[in-house]
Chains A and B, each alone.
Chain A
């Protein structure tokens, strides 16, 4: 099994067509634009230092990435000194095997999981199940996508694509030991049902697996940020706690973490601060009444060291807040599943090709209007449109673009590098189009642009080309 299991990114266009025609999805996605975007803006406006914090966070990440080997060494040293185990995995396969080995040596049959995008990236649930171990997602959104056998459609709100009615139907389908005629109309009732069912699992689990929002080099600490408290029950109650992290999660100090905490919740959920931010350093100490007996941190590469040395290093600043997708008009229209893998939206359009290869994901960096909202809201100022453009260039260089695009770009290149010929051709084109569209003032259909004009009319050109008008204006001045 490859790390790119369930990959449907090559079918982006088909996925998008289906998503646009799915009324339930469209209803769910509408909430993003009307809800989280406005609330984030209001929360950010209450903190005058927000912009300065963005610069500060960007600089911390840039510094850490430039010294990444040394900060990871320090993290390892401190984590081990606190009694923790540090494992490294170059590939998703290695990470999965490491998790399985730890579970087996703990004789584990039931594993609870906090939300972890690395867990999704390495498809750990399928792998554990294949090996006779039952993984239970405990974040409500992740639990929902797990019982539906889906990928999360958002990195912060995994089940944002679902309506309340769909969730009710899923609970009735899966929780068959409960009375069939129970009332599940209120969202509160749905939440309580999940709370009761998962509470038993928390207390019964042998191993708890969480992700890490940050690793702290100076203390050997892993940090998770959650609102539900599921991540904390996952890592506190079982005998063994496994942290799934990737190399870029490390930051130097606790003071550095404070900078990111001020950005993360505000950008992700429009909260001043998430409910639970937990700093875990090693296993249970002597005399401690609770906490795990074993504490393991798995640090994954999976394509990231290559990003560090190339054009995509800036993507490694990402703190997974999801603001870019919340503000993306394409994401809002087609939803996360359309992107066909673990990471959707603008951050996914840059990250996914680095992990699964551009040949498997060329549509993603093209699924952008380059409106720039993602970069405007990114808490660590990642130039997402620029990075998507880099992927488009590579796609073109490697002859991965469709023939129509290549010929089109070739023709455009021929024209654009011959200014006089360009001006002549355009004036002919505009004149001709102007004549043809004179009566209606618009075109309901144009050759070669049928899919564009299917949804809107193309206005007929008014008089002359822009360049011709400009020349006349300069002369008459």
Chain B
């Protein structure tokens, strides 16, 4: 018997089942098909404008910062302003996401934008979020050829663009969009939920920002919700 056989046999012995009961299989298939939603907090169930406002509040409560921009054209200057404010070199790395590639980067002459994954030598990265969740100020990032995962973790400063229309009240709404966009059987390799900058309280329970991931998380909420 393989370890797999032994393990499944033990489970079935403990449950007093064979694994072939049609009723059990039907119950499981039904649950997977219907994926019922459980308890959803009222907190995020707001009209779009208030939802976006709550999102920004919760990002800030999680030690992130945010700008609200009327149009995507304002992104390059918002990035440049952030770098100047923190005395950072005017360089940033982004993925090939068409939503970022289409921006008027040349309006900021001093800003040098490179593309691709991070090898650990970039101080600043720019990513586009798949969605935001107002409930907790959480960004949802989907990996793919145009959206390297390393940009979320290696640079010191992470700038994330989120379309105000993509801010949901709760996680479940985002899962529904994941089901529609990718199909539940074709999830991106990595989906990263990010709530604020990296932190640790492992030294004498004192909270310090910037453990292994970014020390600074800046969110650009763009467009009308």
- In angstroms, Cα B145 to Cα A280, docked, is 16
Residues of A within 8 A of B25 (CB): 70
Interchain CB contact under 8 A, A232 and B153? yes
Q: Is A134 located at the chain interface by the 8 A CB criterion?
A: no
Map CB proximity to B onto A210-254 as digits: 1 under 8 Å, 0 otherwise.
Answer: 000000011101000001111011001100000000010000111
Minimal beta-carbon separation of B49 from chain A (angstroms): 22
A177-231 contacts to B (CB < 8 Å): 187-188, 190-192, 195, 198-199, 202-203, 217-219, 221, 227-230
Interchain CB contact under 8 A, B32 and A252? yes
Interchain CB contact under 8 A, A272 and B189? no
Interchain CB contact under 8 A, A308 and B11? yes
- In angstroms, Cα B24 to Cα A309, docked, is 17
Q: Is B132 located at the chain interface by the 8 A CB criterion?
A: no
Q: Is B213 located at the chain interface by the 8 A CB criterion?
A: yes
- In angstroms, Cα B32 to Cα A73, docked, is 13
Minimal beta-carbon separation of B51 from chain A (angstroms): 16
| CB-based nearest B residue for A291 | B189
| CB-based nearest B residue for A46 | B43
Interchain CB contact under 8 A, A254 and B144? no
B108-163 contacts to A (CB < 8 Å): 116-117, 119-120, 136-138, 143-145, 148-150, 152-154
A389-424 contacts to B (CB < 8 Å): none
Interchain CB contact under 8 A, B149 and A290? yes
Q: Is A364 located at the chain interface by the 8 A CB criterion?
A: no
Task: Report which of B2, B17, B192 forms a contact with A69, defined as CB distance below 8 A.
Answer: B17
Q: Is A88 located at the chain interface by the 8 A CB criterion?
A: yes
Q: Is A433 located at the chain interface by the 8 A CB criterion?
A: no
Q: Is B102 located at the chain interface by the 8 A CB criterion?
A: no
Task: Report which of B150, B185, B212 forms a contact with A290, defined as CB distance below 8 A.
Answer: B150
Minimal beta-carbon separation of A285 from chain B (angstroms): 5
Interchain CB contact under 8 A, A160 and B205? yes
- In angstroms, Cα B201 to Cα A230, docked, is 14
Interchain CB contact under 8 A, A289 and B35? no
Q: Is B85 located at the chain interface by the 8 A CB criterion?
A: no
Interchain CB contact under 8 A, A236 and B27? no
Q: Is A388 located at the chain interface by the 8 A CB criterion?
A: no
Interchain CB contact under 8 A, B13 and A274? no
Interchain CB contact under 8 A, B184 and A190? no
Residues of A within 8 A of B86 (CB): none
Residues of A within 8 A of B32 (CB): 74, 217-218, 252-253
- In angstroms, Cα B15 to Cα A72, docked, is 14
- In angstroms, Cα B127 to Cα A289, docked, is 14
Q: Is B46 located at the chain interface by the 8 A CB criterion?
A: no
- In angstroms, Cα B88 to Cα A188, docked, is 20
B1-34 contacts to A (CB < 8 Å): 2-4, 6-8, 10-17, 19, 24-25, 27-28, 31-32
A76-108 contacts to B (CB < 8 Å): 78, 81-82, 87-90, 94
Residues of A within 8 A of B6 (CB): 88, 90
- In angstroms, Cα B214 to Cα A430, docked, is 67
- In angstroms, Cα B148 to Cα A468, docked, is 77
Closest 10 CB pairs between A and B?
A229-B213, A309-B14, A228-B211, A305-B10, A287-B145, A141-B202, A273-B136, A277-B193, A253-B35, A289-B117
Binding site for B on A (CB under 8 A): 28, 31-32, 35-36, 47-49, 52-53, 56-57, 60, 63, 66-74, 78, 81-82, 87-90, 94, 138-141, 144, 157-160, 162-164, 167, 187-188, 190-192, 195, 198-199, 202-203, 217-219, 221, 227-230, 232-233, 236-237, 247, 252-256, 258-259, 261-262, 269, 271-285, 287-291, 299, 301, 305-306, 308-310
Q: 20 new A-B pairs (CB below 8 Å) besides A159-B202, A236-B150?
A: A36-B205, A56-B38, A69-B12, A90-B10, A157-B202, A158-B202, A159-B203, A187-B206, A230-B212, A232-B152, A236-B149, A272-B137, A273-B138, A273-B193, A276-B195, A277-B138, A279-B191, A287-B144, A305-B14, A308-B11
29 inter-chain pairs at a CB distance below 8 angstroms, sorted by A residue, are A49-B42, A56-B38, A63-B31, A69-B12, A69-B19, A70-B19, A70-B24, A90-B3, A140-B203, A141-B200, A188-B208, A191-B208, A195-B211, A198-B212, A199-B212, A217-B32, A227-B201, A228-B211, A276-B193, A278-B191, A285-B144, A289-B148, A290-B117, A299-B7, A301-B7, A301-B10, A305-B14, A306-B14, A309-B15
